[in-house]
Amino acid sequence: MRLLLLFLLLTSSLSLSLATEKKTQSGAYKFGVLPYLSTTRLENIYAPVAAELSRALRHKVNFRTSSGHNRFLNNLKQQRYDIALIQPFWYPPAIDQFGYQPLVRMQEPFASLIMVPDNSPLHSISELKGKLIATPPAFAPVVYMARRALKKAGLIPDKDVQLKAFKSVDSCFQQVFIGSADACITPPFAVAVIEEKMRIKLRALLETTSIPNLSIVVHKRIPADKRERLKNIFLSWKQNNAGKKLLDRIKTQGFVPAIDKEYDMVRAFMHEIKGM
């Protein structure tokens, strides 16, 4: 009797697992994009990307994001996205713990910028003393990188200069535009989007040293042949007009293969942050 119950339990679990995998393979893939801009702007940029992935992959891909970084990271941890565009600090846990595999990354280096409007009276980092810098959510990599750079420049964050976190890069710059903040911390790829949408010219007061850029990861439950096709699709966009238009929307020159070893410096950076 016990053997029968054990057999039924095992076959039931196996059936559920196979059913889940079959559903993943036949249903639409969820393409999660970290919420570095407002949901509306992200949808304008990445819904066409999802549509092109659907066409080229011959499998439906739906754009998804979340209302905040914490919620997106939790969704990533719960492995709810099949494909995901993630920030560098999320790469280690996604690959090492959450069941994802590296696919491609933006080819440009990832740095942190402290930006002001071009007509700002501020022209050097030292002039930020006593000022307020708006930031994306405080745990975003650009914020850690900027804090470290400010210290090296002789400005102690939260003492010599105040940093205040907001929901996204959009809201960060909005504080600058209305005069509630003097500068904004941002990743490079967001600058062109803000300049284009706000019709304003921005200027950098500081650019930090760089780390590997945003990457696209794919969950291991996606069949290997489709993972390889996805990789080739992203890599091919630099070589055709339709792909170049998508890259222009994303504000990157192109994607290159994501190599795990390149992100060891990110792992080291995260270890450094834990010791702060």
Which CATH number goes with the domain that contains 119? 3.40.190.10
pLDDT of residue 275: 53
pLDDT of residue 274: 66
Question: Which of 181, 207, 233 corresponds to the end of one domain?
Answer: 207
Question: Which of 158, 191, 207 corresponds to the end of one domain?
Answer: 207
Judgement on whether residues 197 and 241 belong to the same structural domain of the protein: no
Q: Could you give the C-alpha distances from 244 to 178, 229, 234, in angstroms and in order?
A: 34, 18, 11
pLDDT of residue 185: 97
Judgement on whether residues 245 and 263 belong to the same structural domain of the protein: yes
pLDDT of residue 87: 93
> Considering the domain boundaries, does residue 6 fall inside one?
no
Looking only at the bridges linking them, the beta strands covering 202-207 and 113-117 are: antiparallel
Judgement on whether residues 227 and 91 belong to the same structural domain of the protein: yes
> Considering the domain boundaries, does residue 15 fall inside one?
no
Exposed e or buried b for every residue in 52-91, given b needs 16+ CB within 10 A? bbbebeebebbbbbbeebeebbebbeeeebbbbbbbbbbb
> Considering the domain boundaries, does residue 189 fall inside one?
yes
Amino acid symbol at 232: N
Range of the domain at 175: 113-207
Ranges of the chain whose pLDDT falls below 70: 1-26, 274-276
pLDDT of residue 161: 97
* DSSP secondary structure letter of residue 157: B
pLDDT of residue 8: 37
pLDDT of residue 21: 42
